[in-house]
Structure 1
């Protein structure tokens, strides 16, 4: 079903859909990056694994969401890319490419089917095998504990993230993960893109569990858009801090890993050079960044958010403030594109779409750079540079791991994805420029290694370096041109310069037709 235009704003945040032709001016190679910098790819459990009813896994809120009759949902992840059965094949492909790191998430309902209590030995075995397989091939695992998928049983029992009970359950779940996998995992992210999870899933109802105040855009079965995004954001911070404290006290001295917090980092720039648009951009930064980052780094919410949201914004106790402040070893960044910000409406802007709630509180208008639709946004690697500079200057230059960055293909079956190659050149170049400017950058992960089931886009949104034939029960993988480019960049045979891809195309013949 075609989405209504206003719903595009946060669906864009959740399923980024852009291509690009930007090529950096200055040539560079893999060797220009720090030796310990990690290049790799990313995925998540529900989008990659499939096997939703196998080996003791129970439904998560994502299962329930995509099997509902809500408008805009296409397909489901019951089989997805079948990573549960094909993980060895995928790891072999990663090793052949020379990937240095791979980001996964763990399915809470595969590991602890009821949300608490009984731990599923088959779930433990799968993730141990996957992580060991990565390590055997010299690939550093980065693990996200939560990617939109707590067990449906906890949602049914107390509403999941809208209740503080989830803090204890999430901490107990993390404890199992640290205990079972911590010897091999050094990089842990607690909650995936927390800002957009709280606002998109509990303000607009566009992601699982799909809660919002029913309005002209989305007929959510339940929810309150004016309060729940802030309540969920608050509980996410407390749960993250609880997990950080657990790891620090119980595991860090032996396992020597790091715990990070992830946000969606939309690039923001004034639509014009007017003072009004500069102020609007600062306000957008306050709501999209500082809302959750300021408590983590400095303690407590920004004054502007407090003034605007008022009594709808939860309040930390003094003890909670102390626990939240400083509770992140790194910042996990998810970035795809940049938006222009203004305080004036025009036909090219996307205005706040919920009748009440976060985007209305933010009170600014945004539009994709250079285009009035989300599906053909102009390339803006400079927007990533600006974002990294803002984070460096505003939040004490935190270590930053880019956990997702990628480009959607216009057609799922495209194999010669030259626009994606240009996209990668531009954004990898932006990361290098940020490093040269003093940002503490640690990794760049492309979304995604193989085609996945995408939230909202289903199987029509294609981000994979490898094409997956979803009509084939075997889910056969086929390399796109970007595989050859990324491989060459990582092994040092390709540098990044204003070059064409003619030679790559000549070498690309084995899978030119399906």
Structure 2
């Protein structure tokens, strides 16, 4: 089994501790409990799982759905999608009722989903046709969630832009996207706003812009040749900033539409950001502290500063210069305070190493940030522990530190952990259920992160109101295809997409039972 390869002390959490801190008027109220469980968190806290339309739905040629940018990208460059299972998908589209039953078994009270733009507007605009089948599918899905007392959190855009828009004017490379995106978002708000009260306009704008238009690792796969010879076209150091600028303008207009939507009254809306946490690479380096602050501005402040304060971080304007677009005063006013909460997708941390030499003739987001991401410090220390099959190192303290940083810098906003999860590649053991279902490392990951989340809320008084595990199901992980598994439930792609409960799912279910005593967690982890 996978866990047998690691020190027992790193996996067994056997020390009973008291958790819960006295409530303070200035922060969240945390109940006192003998062990850490769902009951240890403030009343009304959202606990759920997350998925995304393109990653789980399948049925790409059914129900009048139009082609997505990712459909075309993976067909043109199948090697970049690492899809060993061909056209096999998770098929949430047909099996959502079955999967909602899995959510109930987990005892979750919320579920994060996204709505596929090509399934609503197959050709990218309302005037070119609204897909009634797609509209009904999401009504049925949302109704089924509500019937099971599960609160939906809906993402408007999780990277699946209609290919027709991409072909016509380059999607988010053009400011024309602002009008089309706002029309699409407005349609969703008015169609589902009486049922859905929690919304996010965009998922991970940093990843979408950088990986799609600066490194070329995700669709549409654009970058300069000096970054990757796999990119057929693109301009690193330029396009990512243009794309994010248009994305932010689209967000501001969509939020204005949301706030004018009568059906949406009482709802809230934000963006799901995807920062890592960073520690200084070398404490002897005078740039150590500045490097961490700078990279956080580039990775998170890039999109969070405008939606909080109305403009980009000053360090970005200073370093990027004329390559960074400018907002008008009107745009700044629309952007300022345009998020009711901050969504955070947290997975990992790095050491930030100050980069001294930069070639101005080969610009990129990475070189602009003047940093390199390192997994070891200058003294050779690892950033967390990395099991042999893990996609990334586990550093749960980074979550607590990141949340405290956001509280202090961004005026103590409401925060929702929109994604947090453990990825693993099982290789030749992938089809062995005995190995795949005994995911002790994922269980350990969730325990450590939920403890640090609890301490952030109850000790640091960070205003976190929800936590969503990525992911409910093993799914299509973009350029990693299906070989990387994040699910609480195992998908058997070789045998009728059968769902199998992993040990992590059992633990999460126990954790959320109010009257049970789940495994305690060490306070020092």
TM-score scaled by length of structure 1: 0.88
CA–CA separation in structure 2 for the residues paired with 1:21 and 1:178: 44
| 1:270 pairs with one of 262, 280, 284 | 280
Q: CA deviation at 1:209?
A: 1.4
Q: Please tell me whether the aligned partners of residues 260 and 332 of structure 1 are also in contact (alpha carbons under 8 angstroms).
A: yes
Does residue 382 in structure 1 map to residue 397 in structure 2?
yes
Partners of 2:96 and 2:227 lie apart in 1 by 42
SS, match of residue 456 in structure 1: helix
Q: Give the Cα–Cα distance (whole angstroms) in 1 for the partners of residues 137 and 14 of structure 2.
A: 41
Q: Which residue of the other structure, out of 358, 367, 373, is the alignment partner of 2:374?
A: 367
Distance (Å, rounded) in 1 between the aligned partners of 2:294 and 2:314: 11
Counterpart Cα distance in 2 of 1:491 and 1:77: 39
Once structures 1 and 2 are overlaid, which stretch shifts more, 118-127 or 407-416?
407-416
Checking the alignment, whether the CA contact within 8 Å between 1:51 and 1:79 is kept in structure 2 is: no
1:416 corresponding residue in structure 2: 438
Match in the other structure for 1:508: none
Residues 23, 426 of structure 1: 8 Å contact kept: no
Q: Which residue in the other structure is 1:448 paired with?
A: 471
Q: Does 1:358 align with 2:380?
A: no
Which residue number in structure 2 is paired with residue 257 of structure 1?
A: 267
In 2: Cα distance, 1:94 partner to 1:133 partner: 12
Is it true that 1:114 corresponds to 2:131 in the alignment? no
Shift of 1:250: 2.4
Equivalent residues of 2:242, 2:324 under 8 A apart: yes
Matched residue, 1:463: 486
Distance in 2 of aligned mates of 1:187 and 1:261: 11
Q: Which residue of 2 aligns with 1:429?
A: 451
Which residue in the other structure is 1:15 paired with?
none
> What residue number does 1:503 align with?
none
Deviations for 1:221-256, whole angstroms, at most 9, x for unmatched residues? Answer: 22111211111111111100100001112236x532
The 3 A distance-change label for structure 1 pair 317 and 93 is same
Question: Matched residues in 2 for 1:170 and 1:24: separation?
Answer: 50
Question: Which structure 2 residues correspond to residues 257-406 of structure 1 after superposition, within 5 A?
Answer: 257-274=267-284, 275-343=286-354, 355-368=362-375, 370=382, 375=390, 377-406=392-421
CA distance in 2, matches of 1:105, 1:376: 24
Q: Mapping of 1:120-159 within 5 angstroms?
A: 120-159=131-170
Instruction: Tell me the residue number matched to 1:212.
Output: 223
Indicate yes or no: 2:81 matched with 1:73.
yes
Alpha-carbon separation, structure 2, partners of 1:24 and 1:432: 18
Aligned residue number for residue 512 of structure 1: none
Q: Is the 8 A contact 1:22 1:379 kept in 2?
A: no
Instruction: Provide the rounded CA distance (Å) in 2 between the counterparts of 1:164 and 1:343.
Output: 34
Quickly say closer, same or farther: Cα 1:465–1:334, change in 2 above 3 A.
same
- Which has the larger displacement, 211-220 or 141-150? 211-220
Shift of 1:68: 1.4
Corresponding residue SS for 1:462: coil
SS in 2 for 1:224: coil
Deviates more, 1:439-448 or 1:411-420: 411-420
In the aligned structure 1, how far is the partner of 2:43 from the partner of 2:113? 23
The 1:319–1:85 alpha-carbon spacing in structure 2 relative to 1, beyond 3 Å, is same
Residue pair 1:47, 1:452 contacting (<8 A) in 2 also: yes
Counterpart residue number, 1:238:
249
Instruction: Answer whether contact 1:213 1:224 (CA < 8 A) is retained.
Output: yes
Looking at structure 1, the residues matched to 122 and 116 of structure 2 have their Cα atoms a distance apart, in angstroms, of: 9
- Relative distance call for 1:24 and 1:263 in structure 2 (3 A) is farther
Q: Does the 8 Å contact 1:102/1:142 carry over to 2?
A: yes
Change (3 A) 1:498 1:299: closer
How far 1:54 sits from its partner (Å)? 0.2
In 1, distance between residues paired with 2:113 and 2:100?
A: 12
Give the equivalent residue in structure 2 for 1:61.
Answer: 69
The structural deviation recorded for 1:23 is 5.3
CA RMSD of aligned residues (A): 2.3
Q: Distance in 2 between matches of 1:233 and 1:464?
A: 29
Contact 1:109–1:151 (8 Å) recurs in 2: yes
Change (3 A) 1:22 1:113: farther
Per the TM alignment, residue 283 of structure 1 is displaced from its structure 2 partner at its CA by 1.3
Q: TM-score, normalised to structure 2's length? A: 0.86
Is 1:482 paired with 2:497?
Answer: no
How far does the alpha carbon of each residue in 1:263-285 deviate from its partner, in whole angstroms, 9 at most, with x for none? Answer: 11211111232332222111111
Contact 1:30 1:495 in 2 (8 A): no
Per the alignment, residue 7 of structure 2 pairs with: none
Matches of 1:283 and 1:365 in 2, distance apart?
12
Gaps of 5+ in 1: 1-19, 346-350, 500-514
- Distance in 2, matches of 1:270 and 1:22, equals 30
Q: Detail structure 1 runs of 4+ shifted over 3 Å in the superposition.
A: 20-27, 76-79, 371-378
Q: How big is each residue's C-alpha offset from its partner over 1:174-199, in whole Å with a ceiling of 9 and x where there is no partner? A: 11111111111111000101111111
In structure 1, the residue corresponding to 2:478 is in which secondary structure?
A: coil
